[in-house]
Amino acid sequence: MKHIEKGAGLMSAPRDFINDFNVDNLSAGVVAGIFGLSAGIIHISAGTAAGLPQEFTLLWVISYLMINGLFGLFLPAYYRLPLPMANSIPGALLFAAIIPVVGLNEALGATLIAGAISLMVGLAGMMSLIMKVIPMPIVMGMVAGILLKFGINMVMPLQDATLPAIVMILSFFFSARYLRRVPPLVVTLVVGVGYMAIFGADFSSVTFSMKFPEFIMPTFTLEAFLAYGLPLALILVGMETPAGVGLVKGMGYKEAPANAITAVGGLGTMISAFFNLHSTCIAAPMTGICSGPEAGSHDKRWVAAVIVGMIFIVAAPFYGFVFSLIEAMPSYFIAIIAGLALLRVISSAMHITFSGKHEVGAMFSFLIAVSGIQLLGIGSSFWALVLGVGLSMLVEFKDFDFTFERSVARKRSLR
With a cut of 60, say whether residue 404 has pLDDT above it.
Answer: no
What's the confidence (pLDDT) of residue 12?
92
Give the model confidence (pLDDT) of 129-180 as tens digits: 777 777 778 877 877 887 788 788 888 888 888 888 998 899 888 887 887 6
Nearest to 295 by CA among 26, 79, 72, 17: 26
Question: What are the C-alpha distances in Å from 298 to residues 25, 268, 302?
Answer: 10, 27, 8
What's the confidence (pLDDT) of residue 193?
80
With a cut of 50, say whether residue 409 has pLDDT above it.
Answer: no
Give the model confidence (pLDDT) of 347-370 as tens digits: 877 887 887 788 888 888 899 888
For residues 339 and 154, is the Cβ–Cβ distance under 8 A?
A: yes
What pTM was computed for the model? 0.72
pLDDT confidence band for 413 (50 / 70 / 90): very low
Question: What are the C-alpha distances in Å from 34 to residues 307, 333, 337?
Answer: 11, 11, 9
The type of residue at 289 is: I
User: Could you count the other beta carbons within 10 Å of the beta carbon of residue 166?
Assistant: 12
d(C-alpha 87, C-alpha 272), whole Å: 10
pLDDT confidence band for 402 (50 / 70 / 90): low
The type of residue at 51 is: G
Helix (H) or strand (E) segment spanning residue 281: strand 281-282
Helix (H) or strand (E) segment spanning residue 282: strand 281-282
- The structural domains of the chain, with segments of one domain joined by +, span 13-346
Higher pLDDT, 322 or 114: 114
